[in-house]
């Protein structure tokens, strides 16, 4: 039976050395009602028993094997292989929850023609930890329905997880897909570009469980912890690409504010590391912020109070975020 939305959906699951959990991810997709039109697993050069696990599924899945090239290249390869009009993503250590595909088709059935992406809430879990993403972000959307956001850049920039996101393939390919030279932030970069091009639909439904498994050392998010300054360089690259696009004034302000914050944090870390570039980064943060008074106060605090001034700004920023 054709879903009410009339769209076809390919599920893209990139995996690398996750024989211990990729089967759970696949099962969570195959158990969906309505089912996906295609389930594409991109094995990004695994050296463990991943091939054996995938072979057990027979023709219920499509398997593409490639030399290890990173998660962005794996997702792009899956998108290019798909015959569907939409691509939905799932990381191989995560799980879709029952009703995920139903929510997608329900919302796309009433979405406008300019809709380029769909996303929803999820549960983040780890050892003794379980939190809903929208709760952490102070976001609230109706459950059992979708809300179309014509300009969602401000909601996308803090980060939207691929495991709860689906995108229109035609628009995604037109934008070049995921940036393969970015080991982190490649998803937020693409999703932000899509938000500039068209509308997103958000639902309050919890669509997936994003798991941080014990002993998992391959998660790319580890780069944020291992070398925050390096990670910031990729975020800076992404924001520069966004600022070069055809933007509305409000989009330019939102992206500029985010870029200013990245440069301010970069300046702080450069100062701690003894780099002389910290002054350059600090004044660049002043240039990009849409509110010169606010950015001037931040820069002055950093110049006069040193590292304490930075920390004071970070404390006030976090307090503002928690207050919603």
Q: Are 175 and 194 in contact (CB under 8 A)?
A: yes
Domain end call among 198, 218, 238 = 218
Task: Return d(Cα 249, Cα 161) in angstroms, integer.
Answer: 26
The residue range of the domain holding 115 is 9-218
Domain CATH code at residue 173: 3.90.550.10
DSSP 106-129: HHHTTS-TTEEEEEEEEEEEETTE
* pLDDT score, position 128: 84
Q: Using one digit for the tens of pLDDT, what is the confidence trace for 142-153?
A: 999 999 999 999
* Listed residue (135, 127, 44, 133) closest to 92, CA to CA: 44
Whether 169 and 282 share a structural domain: no
Tally of domains within the chain: 2
Kindly give the interhelix angle for 292-305 and 278-288, rounded to the nearest 10 degrees.
160
Whether 154 and 253 share a structural domain: no
Task: Return d(Cα 100, Cα 19) in angstroms, integer.
Answer: 23
Upper half-sphere CA count for residue 300 (Cβ side, 13 Å): 6
Domain end call among 173, 203, 218 = 218
Whether 23 and 118 share a structural domain: yes
Can you give the pTM of this predicted structure?
0.91
Q: How many helices (H) and strands (E) does the chain have?
A: 14, 10
Q: Using one digit for the tens of pLDDT, what is the confidence trace for 5-19?
A: 789 999 999 999 999
Domain end call among 218, 234, 260 = 218
Whether 204 and 260 share a structural domain: no
- Does position 80 have pLDDT exceeding 60, yes or no? yes
Average pLDDT on 311-316 reads 85
Query: Strand pairing partners for 115?
Result: 199
The radius of gyration of the chain's CA atoms, rounded to the nearest angstrom, is 20
Task: Return d(Cα 204, Cα 35) in angstroms, integer.
Answer: 21
Task: Return d(Cα 234, Cα 320) in angstroms, integer.
Answer: 25
Whether 34 and 110 share a structural domain: yes
Q: Using one digit for the tens of pLDDT, what is the confidence trace for 30-68?
A: 999 999 999 999 999 999 999 999 999 999 999 999 999
- What token pair was written down for 231? 């990670």
Whether 203 and 83 share a structural domain: yes
Q: Which residues contact 271 (CB under 8 A, 6 or more apart)?
A: 278, 307, 310
């Amino acid at each position: 039976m054709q879903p009410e939305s009339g769209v076809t959906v390919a599920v893209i699951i990139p995996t690398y050395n996750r024989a211990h959990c990729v089967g759970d991810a696949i099962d969570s997709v195959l158990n969906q009602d309505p089912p996906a039109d295609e389930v594409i697993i991109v094995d990004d050069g695994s050296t463990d028993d991943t091939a054996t696990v995938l072979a057990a599924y027979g023709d219920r899945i499509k398997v593409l094997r490639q030399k290890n090239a990173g998660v962005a290249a794996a997702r792009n390869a899956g998108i290019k292989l798909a015959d569907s009009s939409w691509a939905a993503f799932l990381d191989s250590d995560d799980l879709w929850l029952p009703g995920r595909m139903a929510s997608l088709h329900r919302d796309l059935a009433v979405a406008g023609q300019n809709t380029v992406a769909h996303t929803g809430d999820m549960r983040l879990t780890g050892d003794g930890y379980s939190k809903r993403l929208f709760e952490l972000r102070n976001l609230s959307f109706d459950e059992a329905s979708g809300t179309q956001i014509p300009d969602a850049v401000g909601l996308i920039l803090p980060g939207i997880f691929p495991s709860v996101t689906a995108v229109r393939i035609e628009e995604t390919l037109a934008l070049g897909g995921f940036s393969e030279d970015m080991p982190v932030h490649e998803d937020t970069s693409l999703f932000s570009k899509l938000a500039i091009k068209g509308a997103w639909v958000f639902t309050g439904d919890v669509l997936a469980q994003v798991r941080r498994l014990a002993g998992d050392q391959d998660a790319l998010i580890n780069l944020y912890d291992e070398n925050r300054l390096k990670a910031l360089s990729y975020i800076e690259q992404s924001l520069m690409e966004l600022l070069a696009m055809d933007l509305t004034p409000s989009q330019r302000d939102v992206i500029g504010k985010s870029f200013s914050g990245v440069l301010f944090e970069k300046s702080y870390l450069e100062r701690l590391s003894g780099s002389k570039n910290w002054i350059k980064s600090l004044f660049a943060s002043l240039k990009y912020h849409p509110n010169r008074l606010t950015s001037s106060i931040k820069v002055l605090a950093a110049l006069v109070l040193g590292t304490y001034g930075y920390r004071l700004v970070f404390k006030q920023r976090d307090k503002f975020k928690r207050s919603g």
